[in-house]
Structure 1
Amino acid sequence: MRAVLTKDRTMVVTEVPDPEPQEGQLLVRTLACGICGSDLHALRDPDAFMATTRRSGGTPYDPRDGLVFGHEFAAEIVEHGPGTRRALPAGTAVCGPPIAFGPQGAGIVGYAPMYPGGYGEYMVLNEGLVFPVPPGLDPEIAALTEPFAVATRAVDRSGIAAGDVAVVLGLGPIGLGVVAALKARGIGPVLAADFSPKRRALAEGLGADELFDPAVSTPYGRWADLGVPTGVGERIAAGLLGTTVREAVVFECVGVPGVLGQVIENAPAGSTVMLVGVCMRADTLEPGLAVNKELTLRGTFGAHPAEYGATLEAIADGRIDAGSIVTGTVGLDGVAQAFTDLAAPDAHAKIVVVP
């Protein structure tokens, strides 16, 4: 099959062997696949990518040795492997979380050589982990269920409730997904910040209540106006007086060294900080601030199948407008240039590959 294969720190379009479905697996033909920021990071800084994966308990494969990326996919069933239930017939459009396991071992689709991703013409997927694309939903939009499901999990894990204040820092696809997931649940106000005017406009379209250009202003100055106590003393006093306190949740979706330190400095006491952006380099923090403020720092990664299914349903019924973040499509021959283009946030937010 034709595929985009990583090589050193570049990518080439070439022929690679067709994957073969094993026990409980399906052979599928790729219909669409989103380009994820994780792919950009993995190609640009493979040492940090592998070190982060290894130290967090995963089994990393070196992108420089040749991988077919692509874990945000929609595909069409071509063939049922041995031991499958054949619940969905050949020709059915499906999508699903990029989790794979079988006789070949376990891995993430697109990051393991035995499970080539959607930057190729064919993939193998586990039958029990695919969802049929709902009728009327464009596979190019269904492919984006994965990043929006990651955002759904981040919102789930944050514990945010109606009436809380949400701050979303960084409006790449995941940050935009967080905005969409929050508004789909009726959460507000949602304050969203990014240097890119284009991405701020996309966040506004997804329902963000207030927008900030960090070069001009930040959402941190809004706590008092929104009724969020910033100091420990204020929270203690409110507790003694029985006064209801408005909580805040900050979603850090940038993943660049230095941002988390700024969040800890400026987050109000008692707030929750969600680590959504994947920073793969060491950072400098002041733990004493987090301690004194009684901050909750919580990580989130990927999405479970149930979260994926719920997100797919929300996209299909229009509660989440996933298609609004697509700013371009390319074929396999355009993937390498798309990686370059995505480095300029004012040009693109999400590019979808259509093999």
Structure 2
Amino acid sequence: MKAVVMRNQTLVVEQLTAPQPAHGQVLVKTLACGICGSDLHMYHHCENVLSGFRNANIPVAFDPRQGLVMGHEYCAEILDHGPDCDKKLKVGTRVCALPFVISPTRFEHIGFSTPYPGGYGEQMVLAEPMLVAVPGDLPAPIAALTEPLTVAVHAVNRAQLSGEEVPLVIGCGPIGLAVIAALKARGVGPVIAADFSPARRALAEKFGADQVVDPAVNSPYASWLQVAAPSDYDMRSPLALLGLGRQPRPCVVFECVGVPGMIQQMIQHAPPRSRLIVVGMCMQSDQIEPLMALPKELNVHFTFGYTAEEFVHTLHALADGSLDAAAMITGTVGLDGVADAFTQLARPEQHAKVMIVHD
């Protein structure tokens, strides 16, 4: 099969031996696969990322010298079943799948695993219990958005929203856009979104953000106060710190950037008793000042991944139209265009989500 292989800090199209399904596994043909921000991080900072995973006891590891076929946001078609499969989903069924192979002694993350190549290849081996049939005629590129959208759905679930909150989304890349979509699907709002990129601010409006802010011109947090707080509320006053007097609606900030300094920025500028939901995956060391967070009684939630139930729910929400994310896809490429897409994705004015579409 053809596949895009990350090798020696390059992306090259190679001919590889097609994978073979083992017990309880299925062989699939990749139909579409999204390029994820974590793929970009892995490409540019592979050794740092793997070292951080080791230090955090996260069971994602591979030898980059052997070459890696990335891709964990995919839609595929079943070609064959390995031994001991129940075959409830027949050959020809289009599927999405949680990108994991799990046993009592082993965990492999498809797309970040040497034995299990991801959706940057023409074929994959997936664990049968992780498969979810794609409903109806949902296009494969839209179905492939299930994985990143479920990350956002999980983050919104972690926020434990009551419906009274005014959310602030910092960063309108694919995950920030997905968070906006998940919030609007729940009827939570108004939603305020902030990004330096005009193109991404325009996408945030398409996804339903009620107010879009350019941080170079206006503080997102000042904009939040104008929407959510009484006119006489001063978040820096002793009364605000103690929760006395007229109060704003609850503040929930979703950090969807993932660069050093963002958590500290939220701690410094969010009003007292805010919930700070860290969704962006920062791959470097960072610093915060707890002395700022303590008297403000801030809750900081880190969010990662999702549950199987959330994954299934998100796929069906895409199919029935209750979750609309088609505008996230701003470009499509074949395998030969992946390396150039990585370069383009470094410039936020050009793209949000680039989808690899297989012939």
Asked if these proteins are the same fold (TM beyond 0.5), I'd say: yes
The offset of 1:197, in angstroms, is: 1.1
Q: Does 1:269 align with 2:275?
A: no
The offset of 1:103, in angstroms, is: 9.7
Q: Is the 8 A contact 1:153 1:300 kept in 2?
A: yes
Q: Distance in 2 between matches of 1:47 and 1:57?
A: 15
Q: Is the 8 A contact 1:166 1:249 kept in 2?
A: yes
The offset of 1:288, in angstroms, is: 0.7
Q: Distance in 2 between matches of 1:223 and 1:327?
A: 29
The offset of 1:225, in angstroms, is: 2.6
Q: Distance in 2 between matches of 1:62 and 1:152?
A: 32
**Under a length normalisation based on structure 1, what TM-score does the superposition of the two structures give?**
0.95
Q: Does 1:281 align with 2:316?
A: no
- Report what 1:349 is aligned to: 352
The offset of 1:56, in angstroms, is: 2.1
Matched ranges for 1:108-187 at <5 A:
108-187=109-188
- Report what 1:34 is aligned to: 34
- Report what 2:80 is aligned to: 79
The offset of 1:114, in angstroms, is: 1.1
Bigger drift between 219-228 and 37-46 goes to 219-228
Q: Does 1:12 align with 2:15?
A: no
Structure 2 alignment gaps of length 5 or more: none
Matched ranges for 1:204-353 at <5 A:
204-228=205-229, 230=235, 233-234=239-240, 236-238=242-244, 246-353=249-356
The offset of 1:10, in angstroms, is: 0.9
Write out per-residue CA displacement over residues 14-40 of structure 1, whole angstroms, 9 at most, x where no aligned residue. Answer: 011211111111100000000001000
**Gap change, CA 1:104 and 1:138, over 3 Å in 2:** farther
Q: Is the 8 A contact 2:272 2:296 kept in 1?
A: yes
Q: SS at 1:14's partner residue?
A: strand
Write out per-residue CA displacement over residues 48-81 of structure 1, whole angstroms, 9 at most, x where no aligned residue. Answer: 2112211222232243531100000000000011
**Under a length normalisation based on structure 2, what TM-score does the superposition of the two structures give?**
0.94
Write out per-residue CA displacement over residues 247-299 of structure 1, whole angstroms, 9 at most, x where no aligned residue. Answer: 11100000011121111100111011111001111112111111111111111
Q: Is the 8 A contact 1:153 1:302 kept in 2?
A: yes
Write out per-residue CA displacement over residues 114-169 of structure 1, whole angstroms, 9 at most, x where no aligned residue. Answer: 11000001111111111111102001110010000000000000112212010111
Q: Distance in 2 between matches of 1:87 and 1:233?
A: 61
Structure 1 alignment gaps of length 5 or more: none
**Gap change, CA 1:237 and 1:74, over 3 Å in 2:** closer
Q: Is the 8 A contact 1:23 1:102 kept in 2?
A: no
The offset of 1:223, in angstroms, is: 4.2
Q: Is the 8 A contact 1:32 1:352 kept in 2?
A: yes
How many equivalent residue pairs? 352
- Report what 2:3 is aligned to: 3
The offset of 1:47, in angstroms, is: 1.8
Q: Is the 8 A contact 1:24 1:83 kept in 2?
A: yes
The offset of 1:226, in angstroms, is: 3.0
CA RMSD of aligned residues (A): 1.7
Write out per-residue CA displacement over residues 203-247 of structure 1, whole angstroms, 9 at most, x where no aligned residue. Answer: 111110100111111221034433446356326344xx7x77521
Letter in 1 for 2:62: Y
Q: SS at 1:225's partner residue?
A: helix
Q: Distance in 2 between matches of 1:72 and 1:143?
A: 5
Q: Distance in 1 between matches of 2:224 and 2:329?
A: 32
**Gap change, CA 1:233 and 1:47, over 3 Å in 2:** farther
